[in-house]
Chain A
């Protein structure tokens, strides 16, 4: 990959970080309601996988930590923010909210708020691709805790039996809500679990874009060449709590600091600084531009958009 491309990628990761931090602020200001689950700390994961895939062509489905995944498929950040603001201009017309971002035009098939629920749906999307005969793939992003659901095992089994073009990306951030993985899960290495279904799998550092990209490329190629499903485990960490009501009392600040020393944005930034592809001035300018864009365009759009009309309450129940 060219270094210039990596500048574009770094910009995307900074946008993802600042977008989520701005969401946090808007939630505190009570502009955003409901449950909200943020992504800071995990940016390299979805960014690298989608860089290896074909955003807007491959189908993506995920759980409730879904804002950034949609944006990486091509969803306008304004439509995501407007959705969080529960506006009619939101990508789910204000009916979905943070946990139900949808953008079918860009083949982002949704965020789902039932842990493990998207596994069989992803296999089904892959089945649809198989029947239609295209070379797209289905990509299912879910956290480590989802793997303890029955749907995980049911889906891995079917994905293998039917040889479905589906890539499972496990963003292993070590926690299922507030329970550390070693307290809930017998086998800590998630990629080892799918050997029970004879599915190709790998595990790698989820903080380093270059490493994730290398693994994701191999995984995507495997699935796209119709060799069957693939399971990729990315070792990562979320900086914030599970949701907005989570004060993280179940883990130490020391542990958090350790992970922040391996921040995905800083790893990529420093690599570009070392290679002289990027200067510190350029980087700070980039941050400022992104903040201004979020404030002047994204937030402004969400603030100024109309809410759905109550007369349309029953509009989307049946076709």
Chain B
């Protein structure tokens, strides 16, 4: 098993799927000749040519719609939207066409399109380049939403998304493209539904996804070494549908739950997971479930303010200690 970077895992999945099926194409701004802002499509233009590796104009709604239209004919486009902030512009086609066409056609047409886009707060990119939008996508019926937290997931989820007959939104993270991790040498598919137990524990469940899983890992180490608290980490890599059974299983084991998200609180992954905990595990709980989330502000440019706007592993530790009456 080789250790490769997140972007390399995505690039490998693209390459394998494009080599296998001539109807798998990729498209987006700068993804061809320029090789992709985050290198996720590096080398593909040279290998597969302009018909299958499409540099698009900077017109997100238009080219996303084009990919969706092509998918109606069985083409499997992997569309990169360079930043999730620009995906707002493509929402009409994602919401109104890709997600609804199967239903409103009575099952005749499906849109097997894959839309990849990084979200998140990186390094002082300001309000219009720092959005997290997973809560918006996970609220759309007819769309699958997955969010890889490591290279193995990034590879396996993209492979499965390309083979899925449903439209799939893959929420990546700008800070994670250079993150290293082990990816199986042989072909590997990650199921599009479910969750992964990243760390088994007994005292409290930390629900994370994407970058917040890494805060949870750091926090769990501190909690274990310094406070004797054994946290379980559940990686909710599928945001739609959420793994109701997996959430229930872990909370029934630890009896305590904290949901950690980089996104703002009003309406979000945390709210949704808390609702599931309430519906499924109310009588299992030893403490009221808690959310750790961003402050509800447009992300500021100033580094100190930016850092204060989003949570990190220290906020996770604080929330756990408070829950245990230790802070």
Contact = CB atoms under 8 A, between A and B. Distances in A.
Given A128-B74, A151-B61, A316-B107, A158 B66 contact: yes
Interface string A290-319: 000000000000000000000000011111
Contacts of B66: 120-121, 123-124, 127, 155, 158
Given A109-B72, A120-B93, A93 B106 contact: yes
Which of B52, B72, B165 lies at the interface centre, i.e. has the most chain A CB atoms within 10 A of its CB? B72
Given A121-B72, A158-B56, A319-B110, A96 B65 contact: no
B144 A318 contact: yes
A87 to B, nearest CB: 11
A110 B62 contact: no
A95 interface: yes
A319 B106 contact: no
A125 B72 contact: yes
Contact of A157 (B57, B102, B141): B57
B257 to A, nearest CB: 27
A112 to B, nearest CB: 7
B73 interface: yes
A61 B73 CA distance: 13
Contact of B103 (A90, A91, A127, A316): A316
Interface in B50-101: 51-52, 54, 56-57, 59, 61-75, 92-93, 96-97, 101
A102 B105 CA distance: 5
B102 A132 contact: no
B96 A114 contact: yes
A124 B54 CA distance: 12
Nearest to B110: A319
Contacts of B75: 124, 127-128, 131
B107 A154 contact: no
Contact of A121 (B23, B68, B141, B166): B68
10 contacts: A92-B104, A93-B106, A102-B105, A110-B104, A117-B65, A123-B69, A125-B69, A125-B70, A316-B107, A317-B141
Given A96-B104, A123-B65, 9 more contacts: A104-B105, A110-B105, A110-B109, A120-B69, A121-B72, A124-B70, A128-B72, A158-B63, A318-B144
A-B residue pairs, 5 tightest by C-beta: A124-B69, A120-B65, A154-B62, A128-B73, A93-B106
Interface of A: 59, 61, 90-96, 100, 102-105, 109-110, 112, 114, 117, 119-132, 150-151, 153-155, 157-158, 161-162, 315-319
